[in-house]
Amino acid sequence: MPQTLNTSDRSRVLTQAVAEAARRLALKASDLKEIIGTSQPTVSRLMRGHYALPEPGKTWELGAHLVRLYRSLASMVGGDDALARVWLGSANRDFDNRAPLEIIKRIDGLIHVCEYLDAYRARV
């Protein structure tokens, strides 16, 4: 019988995944705070492993979407984090010549970029 994670375990796992995605995408603390909607000190604690995203909550949901974005993007670029960083920071015609990094700092933009990546993967 598979074990289910309790809330604190789920928070720890998602928080670690968010921190890892942020590291791999070379997100600045200021970018991450805007993406998941939290403060700079909280992001600092999160990245050091001294804070866990509370479940349920807005930061939890946004963190889950950031991990979804990273996983989709990593799949699209064959796991090449350097290429993923370039894609994230480059102007894209599909986003009105704005970089996806700027788009994902809004909730609707984060969802839109996730859906864009999912649609791209579905075509390939």
What are the tens digits of pLDDT across the range 57-102? 999 999 999 999 999 999 999 999 999 999 999 999 999 999 999 9
| Secondary structure of residue 64 in the 3-state scheme | helix
Rounded to an integer, what distance in angstroms lies between the CA atom of residue 6 and that of residue 8? 6
pTM here is: 0.90
Q: Domain residue spans in the chain?
A: 7-123
Check residue 44 and give its pLDDT: 95
End-to-end CA distance of the chain: 36
Residues whose CB is less than 8 angstroms from the CB of residue 38 and which lie 6 or more positions away in sequence, other chains included: 46, 59
Residues 36-49: tens digit of each pLDDT: 999 999 999 999 99
Q: What is the mean pLDDT of the chain?
A: 92
User: Contact, 41 vs 59, CB < 8 A?
Assistant: no
